[in-house]
Copies of this chain bind each other. A is one copy, B any other.
Amino acid sequence: MKSLTEHLSFHTERRREFINITPRVETLVTNSRISEGICLINAMHITASVFVNDAESGLLQDFENWLEKLAPHEPLSNYRHNLTGEDNGDAHLKRTVMGREVVIAITDSRLDLGPWEQVFYGEFDGRRDKRVLVKIIGD
């Protein structure tokens, strides 16, 4: 069994952003020289997500609006977590809806994605250094 462990780094300008990381993950799959296996891609921070969906700007705006409705950023006093001095209580909940990680098959040395599947990093408490872990195992 072979394996590859790499990190992707992020530092967004805005509090919340969605970033398509598919090309960066594909490069790592190529570098791994693994032809059959799986690829785990997970946020290493608990206010960020990795998820798969469509690279369509209107949809990304829909996600943003919907998450703000399910777990509004304000009032900050809505969240006991913010009593610690943080203002990111909502970000922990938003990330939970979107998911921490995805696992993608590797077949014939490539990410085995459906026609519209793209891998996104979802930032909900940005403007600081964050990382995503990519772990590939297989043969």
Contact = CB atoms under 8 A, between A and B. Distances in A.
Nearest to A104: B42
Interface in A65-119: 66, 70-71, 79-84, 89, 92-93, 96-105, 107, 112-117
A57 to B, nearest CB: 8
B138 A138 contact: no
Interface string A5-25: 100000000000000000000
A29 interface: no
Given A70-B70, A92-B62, A114 B43 contact: yes
Contacts of A71: 66
A139 interface: yes
B101 A59 contact: no
Contacts of A46: 52-54, 114, 116-117
Given A81-B62, A97-B97, A138-B137, A44 B113 contact: yes
Given A62-B89, A112-B133, 4 more contacts: A44-B114, A45-B116, A51-B100, A58-B81
